[in-house]
Structure 1
Amino acid sequence: MKKILGRNILKLIGWKLDISVPVHNVPKCVLVAAPHTTNWDFFYTIISFWAMEIPMKFFIKDSWTKPWYGFIIESLGGIGIDRSQRANRVDYAAELLKNSNRLYMLNTPEGSRSRAEKWKTGFYYMAQKAEVPILLAYCDYEKKIAGIGKVIHLENKSKEEVLTEIQDFYLNIKGKHPENYNPKIF
Structure 2
Amino acid sequence: MIGGSALARALLRCFGWRIDCRGLPARQGVVMVYPHTSNWDFPIGVLTKWSLNFELKFWAKDSLFRSPIFGRWMRAIGGVPVNRRAANGMVGETANRMREAKARDEHFWLIVAPEGTRGYVDHWKSGAYHVAVQANVPVGLASFDYATKTVVFTDFVEVSGEPDRDFALFAEVLKGRQGKHADQAGLIRLKADGEKR
Using the size of structure 2 for normalisation, the TM-score is 0.85
RMSD across aligned positions (CA): 1.9
Shift of 1:87: 5.3
**Unpaired segments ≥5 residues, structure 2:** 191-197
Shift of 1:150: 0.5
For 2:137, the aligned partner's letter is V
Percent identical: 25
CA distance in structure 1 between the partners assigned to 2:23 and 2:147 by the alignment:
24
For 1:159, the aligned partner's letter is P
Alignment map for 1:1-186 (pairs within 5 Å): 3-19=5-21, 21-23=22-24, 25-68=25-68, 69-85=70-86, 88-100=89-101, 101-155=106-160, 158-186=162-190
CA distance in structure 1 between the partners assigned to 2:168 and 2:137 by the alignment:
18
> SS at the partner of 2:29?
strand
Report if aligned partners of 2:31, 2:109 keep a CA contact under 8 Å in 1. yes
Superposed CA offset, 1:116-169 (max 9, x none): 1111222221001111100011100110000313000125x6322211111112
Q: 1:86 to 1:176 in 2, by over 3 A?
A: closer
Q: 1:184 to 1:153 in 2, by over 3 A?
A: closer
Number of aligned residue pairs = 183
For 1:71, the aligned partner's letter is R
**Unpaired segments ≥5 residues, structure 1:** none
Using the size of structure 1 for normalisation, the TM-score is 0.89
Shift of 1:60: 1.6
For 1:14, the aligned partner's letter is G
For 2:120, the aligned partner's letter is R
CA distance in structure 2 between the partners assigned to 1:22 and 1:107 by the alignment:
18
For 2:180, the aligned partner's letter is K
Shift of 1:2: 5.3
CA distance in structure 2 between the partners assigned to 1:75 and 1:107 by the alignment:
17
For 1:60, the aligned partner's letter is A
CA distance in structure 2 between the partners assigned to 1:121 and 1:81 by the alignment:
14
CA distance in structure 2 between the partners assigned to 1:86 and 1:135 by the alignment:
21
Report if aligned partners of 2:141, 2:154 keep a CA contact under 8 Å in 1. yes
